[in-house]
Structure 1
């Protein structure tokens, strides 16, 4: 079952986000999720096995340029995670479908995402979910 998260779901979403991005704390993510759940331009969807949250997808509207797109705003998949024991069962596809429907409802005609250059697992998931690769870039920074 997939449900759009509400304020009371911030900790569940944060706990799952920590499994995807472990270089943070559950407190940081709870604060972030609480903020996102108040933002009309963002949505979080949770996948459940009975009453246990086992996956999440975070999507937002992006109004800046999104690589490979022609319109604005663009629905953007910011994060997608399904617990190991629940993978290959359609949860990721359902989560992304809910994000896409949300983006359409928000007036978007395009939906995009990204992954790290060397994250081949994420690349394969994106391709299996119907995304096409738009570009590959290397980003640079410099202290001033």
Structure 2
């Protein structure tokens, strides 16, 4: 595995997290993501961990405590993976697993007994990853919307 440094989200690296957010969700706006990352950095119910290789940030996981309904959860709050991303060129090296371990440790410290996540039904790579690292599929849904005139 490549040598990486783990960083917890802080005021010093929010910009880097926002940039990684845009790589995962390119339809998003940098300024909005920057604001979101600053909120996460000061939150008691959310956190993020970043992985740095050399001078480059190459991966992140964003985890929150959800108190609303979480499909398949046994208790509330439930720790929830809001996003996990590893840059191409750093995949298949165990970095996602490392990030999940950090998230699990944080969740346990917050009193959670489960970690939940989701993936788009068409994102087979993410679904396969989740199953590989021990997640159990609990439901599939297709969402619809109809414009009213």
Q: Paired residue for 1:30, among 28, 34, 44?
A: 34
Is 1:123 the counterpart of 2:121 in the alignment? no
Count of matched residue positions in the alignment of Structure 1 and Structure 2: 144
Determine whether 1:139 maps to 2:143.
yes
- Relative to the length of structure 1, the TM-score reads 0.94
Residue 141 of structure 1 deviates from its aligned partner by 3.9
- SS of match in other structure, 1:8: coil
Provide the aligned C-alpha RMSD in A. 1.3
1:4 aligns with 2:37: no
| TM-score under structure 2 length normalisation | 0.91
- Secondary structure of the equivalent of 1:134? coil
Aligned match of 1:57? 61
Q: CA deviation at 1:8?
A: 1.6
Unaligned runs of 5+ in 2: none
Q: Which whole-Å CA distance do the structure 2 matches of 1:40 and 1:73 have between them?
A: 13
CA distance in 2 between counterparts of 1:16 and 1:139 reads 27
Structure number with greater Rg is: 2
Separation in 1 of the partners of 2:16 and 2:133?
24
SS of alignment partner, residue 7 of structure 1: coil
State how far apart, in whole Å, the 2-side matches of 1:141 and 1:42 are.
30
The structural deviation recorded for 1:50 is 2.6
Q: Is the Cα–Cα contact under 8 Å of residues 2 and 94 in structure 1 kept in the other structure?
A: no
The answer to whether residue 52 in structure 2 is matched with residue 48 in structure 1 is yes
Q: Which consecutive segments of 4 or more residues in structure 1 shift more than 6 A?
A: none
* Richer in helix (by share): 1
1:1-60 deviation line (CA, Å, top 9, x unaligned): 222111221100000110000001222211111111111100010011133210000000
- Three-state SS of the structure 1 residue aligned to 2:18 is helix
